[in-house]
Amino acid sequence: MKKTWVLYGIVIALLVLLGWWVLQQGQVLETPNNSVTLVQDAPMHFWDSILEGITHPLSIFLLQILTILSIARLLGWLIGKMGQPSVVGEIVAGILLGPSLLGWLAPDFSSFLFAPNSLGNLQLISQLGLVLFMFTVGMELDLRILRKSALDVIFISQSSIIVPYVGGIVLAWILYQNYAPAGVSFLAFALFIGIAMSITAFPVLARITQERGLNKTPLGSLALAAAAINDVLAWCILAAIIALVRTGPAHSALLTIGLSVLYVLFMLYIVRPLLARVANRFFSYETMNRTVIAVIFAVLLLSALMTEIIGIHALFGAFLAGVIIPQNEAFRHVIINKIEDLTVVLLLPLFFVFTGLRTQIGLLNTPELWQTCGLIILFAVLGKFIGSAIPARISGQNWHDSLALGALMNTRGLMELIVLNIGFDLGILSPEVFAMMVLMALATTFMTGPALNGLHWFQQKFGYKPDAIPVLPEETQQTPFRLLISFGQPRAGARLLQLAQQLHILGETHALHFTPNADISISEAEIFEKEGFEPILGLADRYHLPIQTHYKASNNVPQEIIQHANRGAYNLMLIGSSRPLFSSDETGGMVQTFFEGIDCAIGVLIDKGFSQIKKVLMVYYDEQDAHLLKLLHQCFEREHMPQFKVLSYAEPTEVAAPYVEKGNWVVQTNLEMSSFREYDLLILSRNFWEIIKLQRYELMAYAPSILILHPGNEPKD
């Protein structure tokens, strides 16, 4: 081995010497002219070189993306903390990076970062992002949800387009003379304002229903189905309007619409069956190869290209390509996973900023212009609200659900921005009207959450309350023990259920699981829910135990868990331990938040790999640990329970007398942690856990699995 390294060193040294000799000999080949050129072309100053690198087009483009991505994610996170969809924050980020704020506060930096000659690249990349996004929107539409109440859904969805569309035409009649660009016909202006009033953002609506746990309720299903039909109809109408505006004469428009219909039929009845065969064969990560992905992208891009050539915009073709992807959940999930993160995280923020660069709020510099902006928002809100809520009420929904549906259908978000940019590119919207409509899209999306909160508060305060449940005589009342198992990792849920079963603390059992990301599609949420509960439900079947599951996707998981636990009047919540990123405390971070915010008792499991719990040791420190005796009374007074021992620092009280008589209560002032190894489970209080902070390392070294109990408060009525 040593000889090999010596030989290696000699070879490297000889190569270095050879290279040096060639460089020296090569200088002889230089001519005088070459020498002069080298002197004249001496390297630039270091800082000049740095400046040239910064102003290079590629550097500018990368700096734009970095700035856009950072600001968009930051504002999306901040807005998410306020209970709003993150897309609202990203839209705001786009406006702030445009002339409305950055261009006003730092015009020189704004003109450097977003120089006019650099916006062409930004626009093309953002358009690619929109094509991919509309493809995923088409895939997320699941028209199978229409089967439950198809007539009601069609009635509501059509009304939610017709009413605001007519309102938009009336609004166009009011605005046309003062705000329509020169040369734009009233027909084009009115038809476009009508569609801008009619759009509903299905993707944002889907995320709102997920965050609020409405997606599996009748109200949520109705809203999603109505929004799906709304989107399909709106995009078909928009395609017809674009054909009419682009082609001009009626016969040309009819020809474009006819070609569009033929193309849709071709995609539905020829391309779709072929894709169904592909989906049936390649439906998982394992079987789907890059050739299949290339075929899907080819269909997407060809569809977008054909609709652009026909004259109804590439986005409609991308949307249609997504719709015809076969209804194979696994197949769609794989494709969405490969596209959505790149699109939503990187490409869509570019579109928001490009829209923000077009949005000049500073143009609204008179009270009359702001009054007109308010009028646009009023027409938008009333048109959608009346067009959705009244038909819902007529179809049999109660007033609360009807009004909530009106609030949900008012969500416009990104879909509205796409429509507005199309109108701006076609020259139908002036810069002033474009700015007003962007503010309208932002306002209607932002108000959805507060409107739902207000309706919920009003119902709780003044609304209909069901008849009171008759109170049983005291001797016949039975309050079941309610257990909540909350977990993040699927395996942890099964482990917590196994612990509860072996300690006989099951009772009425509920399982709670959250996905810590509200920005997921409906199909993804269904898959995550299934995968999350699969281990615990499988174990529950083995135990022949009924268990109720609760699932949501949320950006604020700790707060959601606290709210659910406090609403449910549980007796005990079991959770796994959780160490923060910069701490080794097993009960820090999220667990500490639960201790402070949850009313019921909490059990924190530090799992060290128990299988069968046969011997249990409980540490009783002082009178503050009296709540541990409740667990003793509930668990260990039953047959076929594990052997247990109570290790007490204090003399036994009257409550402990039964355990003293059985010889299960041992008083010991010196804690010999090495003896813990003979037990399968160690139970101690949070009070004792905090007292032995300095001894935790030793405890963790010798102890088996540990259950830390926090007393909490009695469940609220």
Q: Coil, strand, or helix at residue 552?
A: strand
Instruction: Indicate the residue type of 600.
Output: C
pLDDT for the residue numbered 652: 67
Residue 368: per-residue pLDDT? 92
Cα–Cα distance between 497 and 513 in angstroms, integer? 13
| Token reading at 431 | 């810069």
Give residue 234's pLDDT.
81
The long-range contacts involving 447-450, CB below 8 angstroms and separated by at least 24 positions, are 447/381, 447/407, 447/410, 448/208, 448/407, 448/408, 448/410, 448/411, 449/83, 449/84, 449/208
| 3-state SS, residue 510 | strand
From the list 491, 387, 373, the residue with the least C-alpha distance to 443 is 373
Over residues 610-622, the mean pLDDT reads: 82
pLDDT value at 275 more than 90: no
Q: Is the pLDDT of residue 93 over 90?
A: no
Question: In 472-543, where do the E strands start and end?
Answer: 482-487, 508-515
pLDDT value at residue 662? 63
Q: Is residue 599 pLDDT above 50, yes or no?
A: yes
pLDDT at 715 over 60: no
Contact 295, 111 (CB under 8 A): no
Instruction: Give the distance between the most distant pair of CA atoms in the chain.
Output: 114
38, pLDDT greater than 60:
no
Better pLDDT: 567 or 523: 567
Q: What mean pLDDT is reported for the chain?
A: 80
pLDDT band at 618 (very low <50, low <70, confident <90, very high): confident
Please write the tens of the pLDDT for every residue from 100-134: 888 888 888 888 888 888 788 888 888 888 888 88
pLDDT of 432 strictly over 80: yes
Confidence of residue 436 (pLDDT cuts 50, 70, 90): very high
Residue of higher predicted confidence among 709 and 461: 709
How much of the chain is helix, strand and coil, in % rounded to 5?
65, 10, 25
Alpha-carbon distance of 305 to 322, in angstroms, equals 14
The amino acid occupying position 694 is L
Measured CA to CA, the distance from residue 316 to residue 305 in angstroms comes to: 10
Which sequence spans correspond to the domains of the chain? 61-456, 482-710
CATH classification number, 482-710, choose in 3.40.930.10, 3.40.50.150, 3.40.50.12370, 3.40.1160.10? 3.40.50.12370
Per-residue pLDDT at 471: 42
* Dihedral of the alpha carbons of 556, 557, 563, 569, in degrees to the nearest 10: 180
pLDDT of residue 439: 92
Confidence of residue 42 (pLDDT cuts 50, 70, 90): very low
Q: How many CB atoms lie within 10 A of CB 473?
A: 6
How far, in Å, CA of 674 to CA of 677, rounded? 6
Report the C-alpha dihedral over residues 258, 263, 265, 266, rounded to 10 degrees.
140
CA dihedral 249, 250, 256, 262 (to 10 degrees): -160
Tokens 């938009």 sit on residue: 168
Residue that wins the pLDDT comparison between 304 and 329 = 304
| Higher pLDDT among residues 21 and 171, named by residue | 171
Residue 71 clears pLDDT 70, i.e. is over it: yes
Confidence category of residue 151, pLDDT binned at 50, 70, 90:
confident
- Alpha-carbon separation of residue 168 from 66, 173, 197, 376, 590 (angstroms): 38, 9, 6, 9, 49
- Residue with the bigger pLDDT between 647 and 541: it is 541
Q: How far apart are the first and last CA of the chain?
A: 78
Cα–Cα distances (Å) from 266 to 259, 306, 324, in that order, read 10, 12, 11
> Could you tell me if residue 413 is left (phi over 0), alpha (psi between -120 and 50 degrees) or otherwise beta?
left
Please check the confidence at residue 248 and state whether its pLDDT lies above 90.
Answer: no
Q: Provide φ and ψ at 425, rounded to 5°.
A: -65, -35
Look at residue 354 and tell me whether its pLDDT is greater than 60: yes
pLDDT band at 484 (very low <50, low <70, confident <90, very high): very high
The class of domain 61-456 in CATH terms is: mainly alpha
Structure tokens at 99: 């002339």
Give the tokens for residue 121. 């690249």
49 alpha carbon, distance to own chain's centre: 43
Q: Which residue has the higher pLDDT, 482 or 629?
A: 482
Q: Is pLDDT of 469 > 70?
A: no
- Whether the CB-CB separation of 385 and 405 falls below 8 Å is answered with no
> Which of 122-126, 197-201, 348-352, 582-586 comes out lowest in average pLDDT?
582-586
pLDDT (mean) for 18-33: 75
pLDDT of 473 > 70? The answer is no
Q: Given this model, what pLDDT does residue 171 score? A: 94
User: Model confidence over 379-391: pLDDT tens digits?
Assistant: 999 999 999 999 8
Contacts of 48 (CB under 8 A, 6+ apart): none
d(CA 423, CA 441): 14
**Residue 610 vs residue 716, higher pLDDT:** 610
DSSP letter string, 439-474: HHHHHHHHTHHHHHHHHHHHHHHHS--PPPPPPPPT
Averaged pLDDT, 563-586: 79
Judged against a pLDDT cut of 50, whether residue 717 lies above it is answered with no
Digit-coded pLDDT (tens) for 437-467: 999 998 998 888 888 888 878 877 776 544 3
Query: 20-24, 141-145, 321-325, 640-644: which has the minimum mean pLDDT?
Result: 141-145
d(CA 411, CA 136) in angstroms, rounded, equals 19
Confidence of residue 433 (pLDDT cuts 50, 70, 90): very high
Asked if residues 631 and 683 have their Cβ atoms less than 8 Å apart, the reply is yes
- In angstroms, the CA 12 to CA 617 distance is 66
Q: Please, which residues bridge with residue 615 across strands?
A: 643
CA 479 vs CA 283, 472, 710: distances in Å: 48, 11, 22
Q: Identify which of 47-51, 276-280, 293-297 has the greatest average pLDDT.
A: 293-297
User: pLDDT band for position 331 (50/70/90)?
Assistant: confident
Q: What one-letter code names the amino acid at 355?
A: T
Mean pLDDT, range 167-183, rounded to an integer: 91
Is the confidence at residue 49, as pLDDT, over 70?
Answer: no
Q: In the block, which residue shows the tokens 């038909």?
A: 391
**Which amino acid, 611?**
S
- Of 30-44, 219-233, 333-347, 446-460, which gets the smallest average pLDDT? 30-44
